[in-house]
Structure 1
Amino acid sequence: MLRKLIKHEFRATARVMGPLFLIILVLALTANLSLHFLLDAQGFFPNLMGGLLLFAFGVGMAALVIISIVLMVERFRANLMGDEGYVMFTLPVSGHQLVWSKIIVSSVWFIATALVESLAILVCVFDLELMRDIFSSAFFRRVFESVQELVVQFGLNLPMMAVEMIVLALLTCAVLCLEFYAAIALGHSFANHKSAWSVLFFFAFQFVTQLASGLFVNTDFFSGLFNIGGMNSFHQLMAVLICMELLNGGIFYAVTTVTLKKRLNLQ
């Protein structure tokens, strides 16, 4: 049943995210053209058009991030806390499955948004002649040789580093979703001013997590991670960050699921 929930959620959100991804890539292409033609052209009008296209691309990049977050939050609120909640909670699924379907789909879209934005930046700044010069020049070879020297000198385990950073990125996306969900669930447990309570709880969560992180960073244990040296320092730091995200995620997940089970208020 979880698979069906995820499939349904992807279909509902893809109607919005798919066109947005296409629009941002088109804006990136127009921004690239403006960089290479309009801004270098003579005359006020071409320069104005080039500037407007670059501005539109910047606005689009910011809007894509904001809309992706708002959409995922609104899907949780409307689907489980709104009128649709009467239907969703009568399905033969548990509250855990409902929450997991939202977490998985939202995390995937957040990662997809980051990838599309990275691709859009590459499209915007792409220059065929420049890329040909870079990859065929001694500069690129020197960079490649320098990376190899660093790997040998410091014993860098690049595949392991990549895996750790990917795991941390995935957890960060999931925890961000859960923080929103926990705030919404608590806010909607009240009879009145549900949205205001949700916003208040979110900022309260932010304050507590930032305060706890700041206190932890100032401990001798955290400072000692940088005194280990070599790759062990990096791996232990990543392990600590991953454990912190798991702890935060576990707390927010418990708050969300318990609130949905004990204090659900759809009125």
Structure 2
Amino acid sequence: MLKNLLKYEFRATARTYGGIYLALLAAAGLIGFSLRGDRVAAQSHVFEIGVTIYSLLVMALVIVTIVTVIQRFTKNLLGREGYLMHTLPVTEAQLVGSKLISSAVWLLASAVVGVVSLVVMFCVGADFTQLDFSNLWDDWAALRTSFEGDLLAILIWTALLCYARMLCTMLCIYAACMVGHLFRAHNGVASVGAFFLMSWGQGRVENLLNAGGFVRILMGSAGDTIVSEAANHSTLIFFAASFAITAVFGAVYFILTCWLMKNKLNLE
């Protein structure tokens, strides 16, 4: 049944994201095309228009992602559509899980499309006959030596942790929507307040454990907490600890959402 729920979710959101993805790639190609040739061409109106369109599309993609996460959850499970969804032979965990998986896939797809758009921009605009790839390799080697540990591993862990934090934020939004649903008169205000309160609480706990913030994750610290002491000995342990803390908060939000949906949901 979860497969059918996911199929329904992707069908309902594919057109929205697909159109923005194609437009973003087209704008990247336009910018790359405007960069070909001499310096004057790079400063042309085509370049300015391309950059403006690309920036607006990136902003639109961020806004659409946030709105879709909230709208698909509230309207589909807490609104009128909820009368149908909650009569299906599925558990609350499957309903919430289908929303989370769908949002996670589109979030990953958005990141991939963003990277691909930059590649398209570079490939269309670059003059490969004048590029010195040996210097690029030397710059990469010099950058690696400036870091303690494996730079590639650090970049991978940073990307994974960033992705995990975004998913945790989605789950926090779901939990906040469920808390706000308890206040029928002012559920919107209550949901926003619950989200900021839970986010603040999570930030406080992470600061106490010295695991929050990408600067400390990348650079480490000389504090006296367990996590920071581990960071002084192993970057991998520090990243793993930060990832585990994020996963625990995500699990708490998921369980809270499912429990409230099962025991406190009122669609009347």
TM-score, structure 2 as length reference = 0.84
Task: Select between 74-83 and 216-225 the one with higher mean Cα deviation.
Answer: 216-225
The code of the aligned residue for 2:35 comes to: L
Cα contact 2:231–2:237 (8 A) shared by 1: no
- Check 1:132–1:84 CA distance in 2 against 1; reply closer, same or farther (3 A cut): farther
The code of the aligned residue for 2:60 comes to: A
Using the TM superposition, give the Cα deviation of residue 220 of structure 1 relative to its aligned residue in structure 2, in angstroms.
2.3
Q: Secondary structure of 1:36's match?
A: coil
**Match of residue 196 from structure 2:** 203
Using the TM superposition, give the Cα deviation of residue 169 of structure 1 relative to its aligned residue in structure 2, in angstroms.
4.5
What does residue range 63-82 of structure 1 map to in structure 2 within 5 Å?
63-82=60-79
Using the TM superposition, give the Cα deviation of residue 142 of structure 1 relative to its aligned residue in structure 2, in angstroms.
2.9
Cα contact 2:20–2:61 (8 A) shared by 1: yes
Identity, in percent, stands at 30
What does residue range 80-229 of structure 1 map to in structure 2 within 5 Å?
80-126=77-123, 127-130=125-128, 133-135=131-133, 138-143=134-139, 156=150, 164=157, 167-217=160-210, 219-228=224-233
The code of the aligned residue for 1:50 comes to: F
Q: Secondary structure of 1:40's match?
A: helix
Q: Secondary structure of 1:190's match?
A: coil
Cα contact 1:179–1:202 (8 A) shared by 2: yes
Using the TM superposition, give the Cα deviation of residue 5 of structure 1 relative to its aligned residue in structure 2, in angstroms.
0.7
Which segments of 5 or more consecutive residues in structure 1 lack a partner in the other structure? Answer: none
- Check 1:157–1:113 CA distance in 2 against 1; reply closer, same or farther (3 A cut): closer
Using the TM superposition, give the Cα deviation of residue 74 of structure 1 relative to its aligned residue in structure 2, in angstroms.
0.8
What does residue range 13-92 of structure 1 map to in structure 2 within 5 Å?
13-36=13-36, 40-41=40-41, 47-92=44-89
Cα contact 1:73–1:180 (8 A) shared by 2: yes
Cα contact 2:29–2:120 (8 A) shared by 1: yes
- Pairs aligned (count): 255
C-alpha distance in 1, partners of 2:129/2:68? 37
C-alpha distance in 2, partners of 1:72/1:82? 14
C-alpha distance in 2, partners of 1:243/1:188? 29
Cα contact 1:38–1:49 (8 A) shared by 2: no
C-alpha distance in 1, partners of 2:47/2:139? 33
Q: CA RMSD in A?
A: 2.9
**Match of residue 256 from structure 2:** 255
**Match of residue 242 from structure 2:** 241
C-alpha distance in 2, partners of 1:125/1:163? 22
C-alpha distance in 2, partners of 1:39/1:5? 52
Which segments of 5 or more consecutive residues in structure 2 lack a partner in the other structure? Answer: 211-222
Using the TM superposition, give the Cα deviation of residue 25 of structure 1 relative to its aligned residue in structure 2, in angstroms.
0.8
Deviations, residues 190-240 of structure 1 (Å, cap 9, x unaligned) = 211211111111111121112222222165223212321xxxx11101110
The code of the aligned residue for 1:134 comes to: D
Task: Select between 201-210 and 93-102 the one with higher mean Cα deviation.
Answer: 201-210
Using the TM superposition, give the Cα deviation of residue 185 of structure 1 relative to its aligned residue in structure 2, in angstroms.
1.0
The code of the aligned residue for 1:176 comes to: T
- Check 1:227–1:3 CA distance in 2 against 1; reply closer, same or farther (3 A cut): same
Using the TM superposition, give the Cα deviation of residue 11 of structure 1 relative to its aligned residue in structure 2, in angstroms.
1.1
- Check 1:143–1:103 CA distance in 2 against 1; reply closer, same or farther (3 A cut): same
Task: Select between 33-42 and 88-97 the one with higher mean Cα deviation.
Answer: 33-42
Using the TM superposition, give the Cα deviation of residue 125 of structure 1 relative to its aligned residue in structure 2, in angstroms.
3.6
Using the TM superposition, give the Cα deviation of residue 174 of structure 1 relative to its aligned residue in structure 2, in angstroms.
2.5
C-alpha distance in 2, partners of 1:19/1:113? 12
C-alpha distance in 1, partners of 2:185/2:264? 14
Cα contact 1:103–1:178 (8 A) shared by 2: yes
**Match of residue 217 from structure 2:** none
- Check 1:121–1:141 CA distance in 2 against 1; reply closer, same or farther (3 A cut): closer
Deviations, residues 87-121 of structure 1 (Å, cap 9, x unaligned) = 00000101010011111110111111111112112
